Amino acid sequence: MDNAAIAKGIREAAKKLLGEGKVDVVIGYAKGTVPMRDYPYFAYTPEEAENLTWSGFCCNNLALYAIRRPGRMAVVAQGCVSRNLVGLVNENQVKRENLYVIGVNSPGMVDRRKVQALFPGQTITEVEEVGDELIVKGVGFAEKVARKKVMRQNCYTCVQRNPVISDELIGGEGPASHGGNLDKVAAPWEKLGSSERWAEFQESFKDCIRCYACRDACPLCYCHVCFVDESQPQWCGKTQDEADVATFHLLRAFHCAGRCTDCGACESACPAGIKMRRLTMKIEKDIRDLYGYQPGMAIGAQPPMTLFKPNDPQDFIK
């Protein structure tokens, strides 16, 4: 099923849910005012549900808006969002009975920076999706681009495109993966020596302006007070100094340990184009290797960092 048909399905489901009063709000996406930037949308009435859409530009993670939200809600969820919802249910941030999941198979979201990079210096005014191709239109040009070429990096290595939980599945199930290898994300650094890694790490994160967009876009970051905002004592400085940037990114990644579902919302939100998945995916791989856990795959699963086993690896302890 193509995206336009799925969008229609989502609208109809939303109208029905809101009309029958089963939910107070349907959280979905609406078409952005700028091409390739569909944004989270909250539909409270059946009329508002007309604005909902579905496309390959739905880069935000909607699980974020379900956190501690009062009342009943329906959330449009592809694979990663549903995994985050499962995680939030397991962490007692969302009540399953208040949640209605409108499941969708993810087509693989498009990285707008990759599309823009193909047309340097040109203004893109519209992007249409036709099957596996995008038609990029601008002033005086219209070109076809294969979706595979401009997909977000995390969508290549996705292992769960179908929703894990869904009360209603629109468009049916599709293939589970795009065929990328999740273990390879961290591999380029793992081969390097210590000082080269440090140089690479500095290079990757030097553009960080500490806007915390990655934190705000992340459905895992729901602490009432984030460690970067704590001022007494201050754990992490506010400057763009390399130590402060490193502290922020390492700790942010660490807080996602055993919880990150690789939804890519952080990278999509970053105004500086920083690849923070390099860090989160290293942890994801460690958690899989050490404790055999994949986050968000089953309701009722215990997060690995809240558990221990007597035979956990401990060769690093003297």
Residue from the set 221, 250, 297, 301 that interacts with other proteins by CB under 8 A: 250
Q: What tokens were used for 45?
A: 């009435």
Does 223 help bind other proteins (rule: CB under 8 A)? no
Largest distance between two CA atoms of the chain: 67
Nearer to other proteins, 213 or 305 (CB): 305
What's the CA dihedral at 303, 304, 310, 316 to 10 degrees? -160
In the complex with other proteins, the residue whose CB is nearer, 131 or 224, is: 224
Closest to other proteins by CB, 32 vs 237, is: 237
Q: Is 318 in the site for other proteins (CB under 8 A)?
A: yes
Amino acid (1-letter code) at residue 318 = K
The continuous run of DSSP H or E covering 216 comes out as helix 213-217
Can residue 190 be called a binding residue for other proteins (CB under 8 A)? yes
> Which of 34, 117, 146, 199 contacts other proteins by CB under 8 A?
199
Selected from 236, 265, 274, 276, the binder of other proteins by CB under 8 A is 236
Query: Which element (helix H / strand E) includes 136?
Result: strand 133-138
When the beta carbons of 44 and 254 are compared against other proteins, the nearer one is 254
DSSP 3-state assignment of 166?
coil
Place of tokens 């942890």: 283
Q: Are 266 and 217 in contact (CB under 8 A)?
A: yes
Indicate whether 239 belongs to the interface with other proteins (CB under 8 A).
yes
Residue 291 contacts other proteins per CB under 8 A: yes
**Site map 125..164 versus other proteins, x via CB under 8 A:** ----------------------------------------
- C-alpha to C-alpha distance for 276 and 309, rounded to whole angstroms: 30
Q: Is 143 helix (H, G, I), strand (E, B) or coil?
A: strand
221 vs 281: CA distance, rounded Å:
17
Task: Determine, following the binding rule CB under 8 A, whether residue 195 of this chain makes contact with other proteins.
Answer: yes
Closer CB to other proteins, 88 or 185, in the complex = 185
Cβ proximity to other proteins: between 148 and 206 the closer is 206
Contact between 178 and 153 (Cβ < 8 Å):
no
> What is the rounded CA–CA span in Å between residue 287 and residue 301?
14
Name which of 15 and 278 has its Cβ closer to other proteins: 278
Cβ-Cβ contacts under 8 Å for 253 (sequence gap 6 or more)? 276, 279, 280, 282, 283
Closest separation between CB of residue 268 and other proteins, Å?
22
Cα gap 18→41, rounded to integer Å: 14
- φ and ψ at 73, to 5 degrees? -140, 155
Q: How far is the CB of 263 from other proteins (least distance, A)?
A: 20
User: What is the per-residue binding string for other proteins in 251-290, x denoting contact by CB under 8 A?
Assistant: x-xx--xx--------------------x--xx--xx--x
The residue count of the chain comes to 318
Shortest reach from residue 243's CB to other proteins, in Å: 4
Least distance in angstroms from the C-beta of 178 to other proteins = 25
How many residues belong to the site for other proteins (CB under 8 A)?
47
**By CB under 8 A, is residue 311 in contact with other proteins?**
no
Q: Could you tell me the CA-to-CA distances from 120 to 112, 114, 187, 271 in Å, in that order? A: 12, 10, 30, 18
Would you tell me which residues interact with other proteins (CB under 8 A)?
A: 186, 189-190, 194-202, 227, 233, 235-237, 239, 241, 243-244, 246-247, 250-251, 253-254, 257-258, 279, 282-283, 286-287, 290-291, 304-308, 312-314, 316-318
